[in-house]
Structure 1
C-alpha cells in the first residue's frame, strides 16, 4: 500500500508534527509506503493547493491528513484533492473536534474590512463569518471516507456537529512510544510535573496559585512538594505584544514565594522527555478552554503531553477541559473543574495526604501505555486504510 500523508512533520515545533512523525515511522515499519507531498510548505493554504495541482498522485491508494492546531494547509489540500479526484479515498485524524479547523483562511468582504480595526471588531467579524466556515467544514467532512478522533468523546461531538454518518467515524487512541518502565521515585518529596508547550492558555497560572494556596492552608507540606515546569517555549507563542510569557511566569512565581520549590526544563530534546517524566510522580495539566472558542463550539481534543504520561507509566491530575475526563477515566488520574483553583488545590492536597495514589495511577497508566504503543496503533491505522480503500 502507498499513501500520501498531509501533515506537519518534525522539525516543526508542535504536537501534531510529533504525532505525524511517529505515525509515519510506524506505518513504514509495517511496510506501508508513505509520501509527504506537502512537506516544506509550512502552513500555506495556497501552496498546499498548488502542490495538489502539481504533485504526481499516480500509485497513491489513499490520502491521510492530520488536521488541527489552527493549521489550514491540510484542510485546503483535502478540498482540492476531493475536487480533483472524486473517488480517491480520503481519511484524516481530527485533533480538535468538534470542528475541523475552526477558522477560514480569510474573512469574506465586507467583514474582511474589520481585520485591521481595533479589538473587538475583528473578533466580532470572525463570529459573523463562522456560519460560512462551518458550512465549508461540513462540506469537506461529509465527503471524507473516514474521520478518526483520539477519543470517544471527540468522536461523538465531531459526528454530531458535522452531521456525519456512523460508518464514516473511527476512534484510534493517541499512540505512544514504548518506554521502558521505571519505578516511582521515593514519595518524599512529592514531585509534580507540568509538561507541554509553555504559553498562555495552558492554565499554568492556576497551578501556581493552587500550589501557593496549598502551602498557606497546610504549611507543613511546603517541605514535601516540588514542581517542575517542562516543555517547549515556542517563540511565537511565548512572546507577544504583552512581553515574554516565561518572564511573566517567573515574576508570578517570585510574587507567590515559590522560587525555591519550582524547577525548569525548557526545550527538552525528545530523548530526554522520558527521563524527566519518570523522575516525577504525577503530571499536572491545568488546561483551560478558550473563552473565544466557546463561542464557536466545544474543543474536545486530547493532549500529546498526557500521552507521554501514559507512555512513561505516570498518572495525571488534569482539568476537565477537552477530552481529559475520558483519558484519565482508566484509574490513571484525577479530574477537577477547569479554572477552579480551589478544586485544584484540593486535588493536590488529596494526593499529598494519600501519596500512594501516585503508585496506583502509575500502575494503571503503564497498562494503558502498553496498549497504545505506536506499532499497535499503526496496525489499527493500516486496517482502517485497507477498509477505506475497499469501501470507497
Structure 2
C-alpha cells in the first residue's frame, strides 16, 4: 500500500508534527510506503492547494491527513483533493474535535475590514463569520472516507457537530514509544512534573498557586515536594506571541516564594524526554480550555504530554479539560475541575499524604503504555486504511 501523508513533520515544533513523525515511521516499519507531498509548504493554504494541483498522485491508494493545532494547510489540501479526485479514499485524524480547524484562513468581506481595527472587533468578526467556517468544515468532513479521533468523547462530539455517519468514525488512541520501564524514584522528595509546550492557556499559573496554597496549609510538606517545568518554549501557535510568558512565570514563582522548589528543563531534546519523565513521580497537566474557543464549540482533544506519561509508566493529575477524564479513567491518575485551584491543591495534598498513589497510578499507566505502542497503533491505522480503500 502507498499512501500520502498530509501533516507537519519534525523539526517543526508542535505536538501534531511529533505525532505524525512517529506514525509515519511506524507505518513504514510495517511496509506501508508513505509520501509527503506537502513537505516544504508550511502552514500555507494557498501553497498546499498549489501542491495538490502540481503533485503526481499516481500510485497513491489513499491520502491521510493530520488536522488540528490551528493549522489550515492540510484542511485546504483535502478540499482540493476531493474536488480533483472524487473517488480517492481520504482519511484524517482530527486532533481538536468537535470541529476540524475552528477558523477560516481569512474573513469574508466586509468582515475582513475588522482586521485593521482594535480588539475586540476582530474577534467579533470571527464569531460572525463562524457559520461559514462551520459549513465548510461540515462539507469536507462529510466527504471524508474515515475520520479518526484519539478518544471516544472526541469521537462522539465530532460525529454530532459535523453531522457524520457512524460508519465514518473510528477511535485510535494516541500512540506512544516503547519506553523501557524504570521504578519510581525514592518518594522523598515527591517530584512533580509539568511537561509540554510552555505557553498561556496551559494552566501553569494554577499549578504554581496550588503549590503555594498547599505549603501555607501544610508547611511541613515544603521540603518534601519539588516541581519541574519542562518542555518546548517556542511552539508554532495559532494565535501569535504576546510578550515574554517565561519571564512572567519566573516572576510569579518569585512572588509565591517557590524559587527554591521549581526547576526548569526548557526545549528538551526528544531523546531526553523519557529520562526526565521517569525521574519524576507524577505528571501534572493543569490545562484550561480556551475562552476564545468556548464561543465556537467544545474542544475534546487530548495531549501528547499525556501520552508521554503513559509511555514512561507515570501517573497524572490533570484537569477535566478536553478529553482528559477519559484518558485518566484507567486508574492511572486523578482528575480535578479545570481552573479550580483549591481542587488541584487538594489533589496534591492527597498525593503527599498517600504517596503510594504514585505507584498505583504508575502500574496502571505502564499497562496502558504497552497497549498503545506505535507499532500496534500503526497496525490499527493500516487496517483502517485497507477498509477505507474498500469503500465504494
TM class, shorter-length:
over 0.9
The root-mean-square deviation of aligned C-alpha atoms, in Å, is: 1.2
1:296 match: secondary structure:
coil
Task: Return the alpha-carbon distance in structure 2 between the equivalents of residues 238 and 130 of structure 1.
Answer: 16
- After TM superposition, the score normalised by the length of structure 2 is 0.99
1:322 aligns with 2:318: no
Task: Return the alpha-carbon distance in structure 2 between the equivalents of residues 387 and 105 of structure 1.
Answer: 32
Runs (4+) of structure 1 exceeding 6 A deviation are 238-241
2:309 match: secondary structure:
helix
Matches within 5 A, 1:152-301: 152-234=152-234, 242-301=242-301
Of 237-246 and 112-121, more deviation after overlay is shown by 237-246
Gap regions ≥5 residues in structure 2: none
Q: Which residue of 1 aligns with 2:313?
A: 313
1:74 match: secondary structure:
helix
Q: Which residue of 1 aligns with 2:147?
A: 147
Q: 1:296 to 1:219 in 2, by over 3 A?
A: same
Q: Is the 8 A contact 1:314 1:361 kept in 2?
A: yes
Q: Is the 8 A contact 1:302 1:322 kept in 2?
A: yes
Task: Return the alpha-carbon distance in structure 2 between the equivalents of residues 105 and 225 of structure 1.
Answer: 45
Q: Which residue of 2 aligns with 1:103?
A: 103
1:58 aligns with 2:68: no
Alpha-carbon deviation of 1:312? 0.1
Q: Which residue of 1 aligns with 2:122?
A: 122
Task: Return the alpha-carbon distance in structure 1 between the equivalents of residues 373 and 340 of structure 2.
Answer: 33
Query: Could you give the per-residue CA deviations for residues 62-103 of structure 1, whole angstroms, max 9, x where no partner exists?
Result: 000000000000000000000000000000000000000000
Q: Which residue of 2 aligns with 1:86?
A: 86
Of 252-261 and 236-245, more deviation after overlay is shown by 236-245
Task: Return the alpha-carbon distance in structure 2 between the equivalents of residues 296 and 244 of structure 1.
Answer: 28
Gap regions ≥5 residues in structure 1: none
- After TM superposition, the score normalised by the length of structure 1 is 0.99
2:295 match: secondary structure:
helix
Query: How many matched pairs?
Result: 392
Q: 1:296 to 1:240 in 2, by over 3 A?
A: closer
Q: Which residue of 1 aligns with 2:35?
A: 35
Task: Return the alpha-carbon distance in structure 2 between the equivalents of residues 235 and 58 of structure 1.
Answer: 35
1:260 match: secondary structure:
coil
Q: Which residue of 2 aligns with 1:333?
A: 333
Alpha-carbon deviation of 1:243? 2.4
